[in-house]
Amino acid sequence: MGIRRRILKALFLWLFLLLLVEFGLRLFWHPAFLDTKHKRNDLEWLSKNVVLNRLGYRDREVSFGKVEKYLRVLSLGSSHTFGWYINDGNETYSKQMGKILKEKHKTEKIEVINASRPGYSLQDRLDRLRQEGILFSPDIVMVSINPLDLVDVDLGVKLTDSRFVRNLRLYQFTKGNRERERVRLEKVKVIETNSKEDSEQMKNAERIILEMKKVSGQVNAKLIVLILPEFDASSPNDNYQFVNFHEQIKKMGERNGFKVIDLWEAVKDDPDKSDLVLNQTDPHPSVRANELFAKYVTDVFDFETAINNASGKSVFKSVKIKKGLSLVNYKGVVSFDREGWVFFDEKYDLGVMSNPLKDADSRKINYMEDILKTAKILVHDGWVGAKIEHNVLVNDGKVIVPRKIYGFEVVGLSNVKAFWRNDGALESRVLNFDQYKVERNSDELVITLLDKRGYDFLKLELDVLAGQIDINEGKIVDIGQTIVLDGLISVSEDEKEVVFETKGKVGSLPKYVWLNDKMVAATLRVAGNTIVGQIEGRLNKDDKIQVYVKSQVFDESVLPIVFYF
């Protein structure tokens, strides 16, 4: 009994000491990352301050092509250029630069388009440039790069999932501080290593930037690369650690003949750099940093000559398409004069091509970008037509999607990514098929979440009916269209296998079928002139079952396309 009492007494003493330390830390230790004024709430900030245009940019409405003698600058980047946590999009350096140039040169014939997006990699910036950027007929393509663009590992701070434990000052003082210091040191090490001239990351960056220069040249646009500094938010006045990154990008520009503007030069002599970052926990450029960036760029680059030489007259042409047709001097597709048609340019190899959706009427969240995706006809598994990334708020565990959005008929759902807030920052996970159910009626799809976590919104990858042309080196090499198969040939004795008759050559089979207007998982394969499928559940003779596939069977009536050359 005496031993037990001593143990309890020791435990009580330790508990008392821990509580005393916790109380002392709460009383005297007030680090910036625990300051409530720095607490993030990404979803709230986005909903209050960000409205995207019909193309998905944080900018006013802008159309392809431009007026002759009108200087147009296309600005590409990630969150630093997008203006992360800058409330007014007009205070980003892209838009401030346009304002300065108009005042300085006393003309309204200047337009700077902010086509940046948070999380965009260098490859994403190149893809946006060649898929749609050139259709704006820019005179200048301005691409930002910063040291984080060479980071190819996860540098997130890893703390416990327990909210209670995370809120303990003792945990943050010990484990939290060690973890933050580990990430800080690893970030410096990774950037230093990847900034070496012969690193694979630097070679890849050079390859992408040279491709940007090539694509810009196709429309007689000049490429400018802006180097954005990456501060240590907690101590921005310390010696800057990524000078070598800046030097390597400048050397790259010298040997490859493209203009580089180093924005570290715009801020390096500032006596107090603490107001150049958002706060002590977030290194994104502040409004003041954006002001300095804009002023520096307009001071060091000869915009007067660019304004005087601005031409960029748009050249669009409308033709009726057919297999084998060569689009002379083809640069990109502007539009189809018929709903429900898409294209895939084979210069992207076997990748997926993303395009903006040029109609905002179907957007349900004005601060999230919906995207149209296409893949090569009959090659990619699971593509029954085109796909639309569609962001929808969750309402009482359900999401409702109209059967027709952006001019396309929705025929299925191939992926669900759910988002929620964790201490204000957005987190996400891909849901498995057994975590939701999908039903449809004549007007809408109803997605019911079986996972009871409190999600804020879903990013749905919707399958839509689409006619499609494949283009290779400016020539139409294939044409296809989504078709529906609803004529069963037979059902197996165990009532789980079905056989459909195909119509022409098909491919890209989905991983689901519709059974009595409910989506059920299926494993499908092509067998000669049939599609054979194993589905979940049993079939009755009166059941209605449908499957959508991509086929080379297509409607040969009017197929006009507008392209840019």
pLDDT tens digits, one per residue of 288-334? 999 999 999 999 999 999 998 887 667 888 888 888 889 888 888 98
pLDDT at 392 over 90: yes
Place of tokens 């449809």: 440
Exposed/middle/buried for residue 516 (C-beta within 10 Å: 0-12, 13-18, 19+): middle
CATH topology for 481-555? Thrombin, subunit H (2.40.10)
**Residue 498 and residue 485: Cα distance in Å, rounded?**
12
CA distances from 159 to 83, 186, 200, 279, 456 (A): 28, 16, 31, 21, 22
461-465, 483-487, 528-532: range with highest mean pLDDT: 461-465
pLDDT at 491: 67
| Domain segments of the chain as ranges | 61-309, 316-467, 481-555
Exposed/middle/buried for residue 408 (C-beta within 10 Å: 0-12, 13-18, 19+): buried
End-to-end CA separation in angstroms for the chain? 92
**If DSSP states are collapsed to H, E and C, what string results for 94-154?**
HHHHHHHHHHHHCCCCEEEEECCCCCCCHHHHHHHHHHCHHHHCCCEEEEEECHHHHCCCC
Phi, psi for residue 463 in degrees, rounded to 5: -85, 130
Task: From 500, 481, 486, select the one nearest 552 (Cα to Cα).
Answer: 481
Phi, psi for residue 497 in degrees, rounded to 5: -105, 135
> What is the pTM assigned to this prediction?
0.90
**Residue 225 and residue 249: Cα distance in Å, rounded?**
9
CATH class of 61-309: alpha beta
173-182, 225-234, 310-319, 337-346: range with highest mean pLDDT: 225-234
Q: Which two tokens stand for residue 13?
A: 């003493």
**Contact, 313 vs 557, CB < 8 A?**
no
pLDDT at 389 over 80: yes
- Please tell me whether residue 374 adopts helix, strand or coil conformation: strand
**Residue 262 and residue 259: Cα distance in Å, rounded?**
10
Exposed/middle/buried for residue 496 (C-beta within 10 Å: 0-12, 13-18, 19+): middle
